[in-house]
Amino acid sequence: MRTPDNVVIFGVGALGTLFGSHLNKVARVTLVDSWREQVKTLQKRGLTVTEMDGRPSHHQLSVTDQISELSDVDLVLILVKSHQTLDVAPKAVQVLGDNGIVVTLQNGLGNYEQIAQLAGRERTSLGVTFQGATLESCGLLRHAGVGSTTLVRLPGQETLFQGIEDLFHRAGIPVMLVDNADSLVWSKLAVNAAINPLTALLEVPNGSLVEQETWLNLMLAAVQEVTAVAAAKHIDLSGDDMAQKVVEVCRATAKNHSSMFQDIKKNRQTEIEAICGQVVRYSKELGIPTPVNGKLLELVRAKETGQHVNLDF
């Protein structure tokens, strides 16, 4: 077993700082981002996390906006927004050690392909996480939901992935290893397409979506469309009851504000193109109707530009 002890996380948003605060307990971790206000706050005051039980914890993290001093990294985790992947990918390759790997835990489709094109498929893995976290302000994080994290094991890297699994478990991050990513990624995509746009448009936490029948039905319709597109691409999601799964995720992260909701509130670009946008693009290629995902895409695009939108289906 080869346990990585030099870890770099690209991203100082909610999930980047959440993973950083856990992994920093058991490894040498550096967080990298160009978000100057958050970087400076973390450097000066550290990170305060409101844990699931309500108690606060404080973490002094190594954070930088420069990569010149980073090298020979064992494990790079990519936790930036999908539209930042093209900018971050070459930096990840630059700091990676000869035997290191890059893992994307981002939302949506297309991130893995962009990273693997630079790092090589033999050094690029992907995974999904259902951890929930809300960045309430710079340096202040609320852990809003404990969920599973699953990573795709690379052939020939079994000892390193055993070490990563051990590292995550010791850091208090539940993790599983699998050999195939397709159903994993599309399952997460279905959950994201159902929850994130609706919470952003309605400006409600995840748990609210299961409390009103109209919102619940819209969420489940979005899931059904993604499942149909996946099936047309010969990706079988029948092993999961996706309707039940998305409801379970809403309840497990009931108090969490989705990343898309957080982006809308802060007038930032969302990941709608990598989520509903990708579903709609595939649906057109395959001739599968996806009216709900199409409407969610249209409405979030409008809201990103500051327009007032009505959730009228």
Report pLDDT for 84: 96
Q: What is the pLDDT of residues 163-172, one digit of tens each?
A: 999 999 999 9
* pLDDT > 90 fraction of the chain, expressed in percent and rounded: 86
- Quick one: pLDDT at residue 224? 96
pLDDT above 90 for 280:
yes
pLDDT tens profile 199-221: 999 999 999 999 999 999 999 99
* Tokens at 300, concatenated: 């979030």
List the Cα angle 308/220/270 in 5-degree steps.
Answer: 40
Q: Which CATH architecture has domain 183-304?
A: Orthogonal Bundle (1.10)
pLDDT digits 0-9 by tens, 79-117: 999 999 999 999 999 999 999 999 999 999 999 999 999
| Residue 151 confidence class, pLDDT cut points 50, 70, 90 | very high
Per the DSSP assignment, residues forming a β-bridge with 177 are: 151
Query: Which pLDDT value is given to residue 4?
Result: 87
CB 166 within 8 A of CB 6: no
- The better pLDDT of the pair 182, 269 is held by 269
Q: What is the pTM of this model?
A: 0.88
**CA-to-CA distance for 145 and 38, rounded, in angstroms?**
22
At 114-135, the pLDDT tens digits run 999 999 999 999 999 989 899 9
The single-letter code of the amino acid at 19 is F
Question: Residue 312 above 90 pLDDT?
Answer: no
Give the Cα separation of 97 and 138 in Å (integer): 31
| Residue range 41-62, pLDDT digits in tens | 999 999 999 999 999 999 999 9
Q: Is the pLDDT of residue 281 over 90?
A: yes
The CATH number of domain 6-179, selected from 3.40.50.720, 3.90.180.10, 1.10.220.70, 3.20.20.70: 3.40.50.720
Q: Tell me the mean pLDDT in the region 256-273.
A: 93
The pLDDT assigned to 294 comes to: 97
Residue 240's Cβ-count burial label (10 Å; 0-12, 13-18, 19+) is: middle
Q: What does the domain layout of the chain look like in residue ranges? A: 6-179, 183-304
